[in-house]
Amino acid sequence: MKIAIMATGGVGGYFGARLAAAGEEVHFIARGQHLAALRANGLVVKSANGDLHLQSVSATDDPASIGTVDIVIFAVKQYDTESAAKLIKPAIGADTVTITLQNGMDKDEWLRAVLGHGHVMDGAAYIADARVVSPGVITHGGKVARIIFGEADGSRSARGERFLAACKNAGIEASFSTEIAKDLWAKFALLSAWTGVSTVLRQPAGKVAGDDSTRKLFADALTESVAIAKAKRADLGDDYLAKHRNFVDTVPPETKSSMQMDLERGRRLELDWMSGAVARIGDELGVPTPIHHFIYAALKLYANGGR
């Protein structure tokens, strides 16, 4: 398959590298020093799942130079969605599908507004601490690296089956879901709670787990996220809270959320699409979300970057 990676950050770069190493035609979109390093030295991935050094990769900052592709793996920060979608449009042909691996719950509709309904397949990535540590070099903490994707109408499409086969061939754990909306809510409920709590506390999982008050803060935030999912008619199951309320015990103690790491580096935050979204949806539906309102207010002044 001909695949474009929009863009070559930690998530897109990791999965793109696995697909390229397995023989797929992968084009990496990047810019600045990262792009220069990719062109000069290739792409390096350091992971517990196996290191890679692709000594020669196709890398560009101009998607129009690639031509049309079969698949776009869309993995930019939420605040860059619209600009990145407009940039990738020249690579969208009649049969191209864009698979979103972003956080948040409104990302797919934003993309459909720019690219067209038939060119977007909903998706999510479960991957721990994947990031660009230096130009041309991506590290991945832990072994979790999974993709889930699906057609919005729950159908089993030929394009989805082809991409699933490509992922399996590359050794990527992937699922082609017929209940993608429910799967996205299942991820969002956990992610919004963990991202918000870890960032507002500026602490990794081990510290959060080690104190009764912070453990309760996480559990309460998760309960609110599950409540808005239920109000949006996403049935996550009666055992969802029981399975995930001890999440902080199940990951390495040094685990941080990506938004916490962005805060530490003075970067923009995806706050509006995490706790901000929980608070906003809760207000719209009449579901109380005091923890997420607090998190949003506490982090709002950092949302545009700065320490």
| 46-86 pLDDT, tens digit each | 999 999 999 999 999 999 999 999 999 999 999 999 999 99
Give the C-alpha separation, 137 to 74, whole Å: 19
Mean pLDDT score across all residues of the chain: 96
Confidence of residue 246 (pLDDT cuts 50, 70, 90): very high
- Confidence (pLDDT) at 306: 84
| Residues above pLDDT 90, as percent of the chain | 95
The residue type found at 181 is: A
Return the pLDDT at 219.
Answer: 97
Q: How far is CA 214 from CA 130, 165, 200, 248, in A?
A: 25, 42, 11, 10
- Contact assessment for residue 266 and residue 307, using Cβ atoms and an 8 Å cutoff: yes
How does residue 11 score in pLDDT terms, banded at 50, 70 and 90? Answer: very high
Q: What is the mean pLDDT of residues 145-164?
A: 97
Q: Looking at residue 225, what is its pLDDT?
A: 98
**Contact indicator for 32, 59 with CB cutoff of 8 Å:** no
pLDDT of residue 286: 98
Complete DSSP assignment for 90-110? GGEEEEEEEEE--SSSSHHHH
Q: What pLDDT digit, counting tens, does each position of 222-245 carry? A: 999 999 999 999 999 999 999 999
Distances (CA, A) of 181 to 82, 105, 275: 21, 9, 19
Q: Between 23 and 104, whose confidence is greater? A: 23
Strands 2-6 and 145-150: unpaired
Please state whether beta strands 137-140 and 43-47 pair in parallel, antiparallel, or not at all (unpaired): parallel
User: Residue 106 has what pLDDT?
Assistant: 85
With tokens 């038939």, the residue in question is: 118
pLDDT given at position 291 = 98
Distance CA 121, CA 155 (A): 11
**Element housing 196 (H / E):** helix 180-201
Peptide bond into 158 cis (omega under 30): no
CA atoms within 13 A on the CB side of 44: 12
Q: What is the mean pLDDT of residues 22-35?
A: 98
pLDDT of residue 224: 98
In whole angstroms, what is the distance from residue 193 CA to residue 198 CA? 8
pLDDT of residue 128: 82
pLDDT of res. 13: 98
> Distance between CA 268 and CA 262 in Å, rounded?
7
Q: Which residues pair with 176 in a beta bridge?
A: 149
- All domains in the chain, ordered by first residue: 2-178 (3.40.50.720), 182-302 (1.10.1040.10)
The predicted structure's pLDDT at residue 142: 81
